[in-house]
Amino acid sequence: MIAELQDIKKHYNQALSGRQKPVLDGVSLQIGENESIAVTGPSGSGKTTLLNILGTLDRPDSGTVILNGMSVPKLNESELARLRNGFIGFVFQLHFLLPQLSLIENVLLPLMPLHDKLARRAGRERAMRLIERMGLQDMINQKPSGLSVGECQRAAVVRALVNKPGLLLADEPTGSLDTETAARLGILLSELKKEERISMVVVTHSPELAARMDKIFRLGSGKLLPINKA
Ligand SMILES: Nc1ncnc2c1ncn2[C@@H]1O[C@H](COP(=O)(O)OP(=O)(O)OP(=O)(O)O)[C@@H](O)[C@H]1O
Ligand SMILES: [Mg+2]
């Protein structure tokens, strides 16, 4: 098991009424090595919340997150940071590229903490290969303001993969892509999973992308339930 959620509960306080709004009501999930999982569900059902908790960007009210054999509540800040930088690749629902940096600079950002020159060079070569597979090679010097939303999204996927993460967490990675580009990204993710034994949890509204994953779950009313693949 590469990652696990155990009975995760999370609520938010509603601003006006002050009432508690349960979002995750006892969610458990096991992610095996080299396993890909799709999470679907209506808008507002808690998919981003679930992904943020799994990626240690948010804390649950109760329940346990286990990543790479380590229980997250027991880790200190520096251990957490190492886990986030080295083990997890994150593609956010909004891409969060830094506006002042070019595409290639944004993509290489995760390599900054690496001190080893060889590792950095290998990372750069890997980034260039991924950029070509995403069809972004002619845009590497553009700033995000000079890229389309879909191009930014593809760049964000490259950035998440640059460090060869053990676990890729992607929040609607094909949300702003046309059908053909979305399909290309779906194929690329399946290929990377095969080539690198990467595990992934992908939040998506796209039935095509979900169908490319090993397992499909649906989040609704705070519960995560498996869906049989057609
Ligand atoms: N920081 C917050 N404070 C209060 N409520 C929040 C907060 N973050 C999320 N919520 C609420 O929690 C619920 C789940 O939000 P979340 O972003 O996880 O949904 P989602 O499934 O990702 O939706 P979408 O498909 O639209 O991205 C929503 O009703 C949202 O309004
Ligand atoms: Mg969301």
Write the pLDDT tens digit of every residue in 64-90: 999 999 999 999 999 999 899 889 999
Which residues, including other chains, have CB under 8 Å from residue 148's CB and lie 6 or more apart? none
C-alpha dihedral sign at 91, 118, 192, 214? negative
Distance from C-alpha of 201 to C-alpha of 134, rounded to nearest angstrom: 20
Distance from C-alpha of 107 to C-alpha of 146, rounded to nearest angstrom: 15
Query: Does ligand 1 have an atom closer than 6 angstroms to the CB of 17?
Result: no
The per-residue pLDDT for range 162-185, each reduced to its tens digit, is: 989 999 999 999 988 889 888 988
Q: How far is the CA of 83 from the centre of ligand 1 (A)?
A: 25
The crossing angle, in degrees rounded to 10, of helices 149-161 and 179-196 is 0
Q: How far is the CA of 194 from the centre of ligand 1 (A)?
A: 32
**The token pair that represents 70 in the structure block:** 């380590």
| β 199-203/167-171 pair status | parallel
Atom number of ligand 1 nearest to Cα 45: 21
Domains (range + CATH), the chain: 1-82+199-230 (3.40.50.300)
**Range 5-34 average pLDDT:** 93
Distance from C-alpha of 147 to C-alpha of 139, rounded to nearest angstrom: 8
Task: Identify which ligand lies nearest to the alpha carbon of 205.
Answer: 1
